[in-house]
Amino acid sequence: MASLLLTVRESIRYRGRSGHYSWLAHRISGLAILFFLVIHVWDTANAYFLPQAYGWSIALFKVPFFGLGEIGVMAAVLYHAINGTRITLLDFKPEWWKYQDQSALIAWTVFAIVFIPAAIIMFNGLWGHCSELSAIGASCWTLPVYSDFADLAR
Amino acid sequence: MTTISGDAQQPITVRHVAIQTNWERYSFLFMRLSGVGLLVLAVGHMVIQHILNSSATLSIQFVAAQWSSWGWKAYDIVLLWLAIPHGVNGLRYVLSDYIHNRAAMRAVTAVLAIFVVATVIWATIGMILFDPAPFQ
């Protein structure tokens, strides 16, 4: 626990500049993706093993809380992919190490250019889903009920 | 190995050293190679499923339509086989920064390895055996 607090405090205080922030963002985005991925894989396997649970969970993931999390996953995947490309290129091209600072900045720029339109499209989809439901007097915040998906059971 | 000279004018010294093969070196290479694969497959998956399509309209019928094709099943299986080991090996890197006891780290690695094998096998069986017919 003391080690975790030290890690969090020094991650913020450490004056490593651009390379440090890239390292931190790569690590946090990686852990976030893995957390989501494990749930996603076991949940999607339920499409075969337990279709009722699968039907219920994809309905649950339409609730805006998860919809916003989905935009977060998009951000994490895009940054991890772009920064991972930078790391891989630098690993195999040591003569480019002198561009370390610029490369970190390029990664953030490419990330912003790709992520912002993606986030707008995803947010629009979420917004449209909620407007459609409120137009018929329902709410996108309503949690699905498990027994409603009994017809999917094998 | 390559050394970088401090002066940009100087040519770069390239020394060829025989690197002893070891498990961590293959782990490093796997992270880079699977990373390149995931750059296409994982980013492609995000674009196809979350931008061109949407979770707001996702249904088991949509999944059945995709998984009625072996091409889509193969795409998802390859993605699974790259993503889970890449992600869990990354978690191992993070944990190894904080766990300094070698025996504890070996135990963690063993647990993570079992988790990778179990997850990959379970989800692969699920995808292969998934029958789209009842949902179409």
Q: What is the DSSP letter of A48?
A: H
Q: From CA A126, how far away is CA B34, in angstroms rounded? A: 32
Q: What is the mean pLDDT of chain A?
A: 93
Q: Which of residues 104-133 of A touch B (CB under 8 A)?
A: 118, 121-122, 125-126, 128-129
**Does residue A1 carry a pLDDT above 70?**
no
Domain total for chain B? 1
CA distances from residue B37 to A44, A75, B58 in whole angstroms, order as listed:
21, 19, 26
**Does residue B5 carry a pLDDT above 70?**
no
Query: What amino acid is encoded at B12 in this protein?
Result: I
Q: From CA B123, how far away is CA A103, in angstroms rounded? A: 37
**Does residue B2 carry a pLDDT above 70?**
no
**Does residue B4 carry a pLDDT above 60?**
no
pLDDT band at A15 (very low <50, low <70, confident <90, very high): confident
pLDDT band at A31 (very low <50, low <70, confident <90, very high): very high
> What is the share, in percent, of chain A residues with pLDDT greater than 70?
99
Record the tokens describing residue A149, joined without a space.
């998906």
CB contact under 8 A, B12 and A85: no
Q: What is the DSSP letter of A7?
A: H
Q: Give residue A69's pLDDT.
A: 96
Q: What is the DSSP letter of A95?
A: G
Instruction: Look at the block and give the residue holding tokens 């913020």.
Output: A12
Q: Give residue B136's pLDDT.
A: 83
State in Å, rounded, how far the first CA of chain A is from the last one: 45
**Does residue A140 carry a pLDDT above 90?**
yes
Angle A140-A116-A32 from CA coordinates, rounded to 5°: 70
CA distances from residue A61 to A102, A141, B1 in whole angstroms, order as listed:
38, 11, 48
CB contact under 8 A, B43 and A77: yes
Q: Give residue B42's pLDDT.
A: 97
| Residue from B7, B13, B29, B43 whose CB has the most chain A CBs within 10 Å, to mutate | B43
Query: What amino acid is encoded at B39 in this protein?
Result: L
Q: Give residue B9's pLDDT.
A: 64
Domain that holds residue B68: 2-135
Record the tokens describing residue B134, joined without a space.
């009842």
Nearest to A77 among B42, B60, B80 (CB): B42
Angstroms from A151 CA to nearest CA on chain B: 11
Q: Which residues of B115-125 are buried (b: 16+ CB within 10 A; e: fewer)?
A: ebeebbeebbe
Please check whether residue B125 touches A, CB under 8 A.
yes
**Does residue A72 carry a pLDDT above 90?**
yes
Instruction: Look at the block and give the residue holding tokens 């499409």.
Output: A47
pTM for the full predicted model: 0.90
Predicted ipTM of the assembly: 0.91
CATH number at residue B124: 1.20.1300.10
> What is the share, in percent, of chain B residues with pLDDT greater than 70?
93
Average pLDDT over residues A104-127: 96
Please check whether residue A45 touches B, CB under 8 A.
yes
Angstroms from A28 CA to nearest CA on chain B: 10
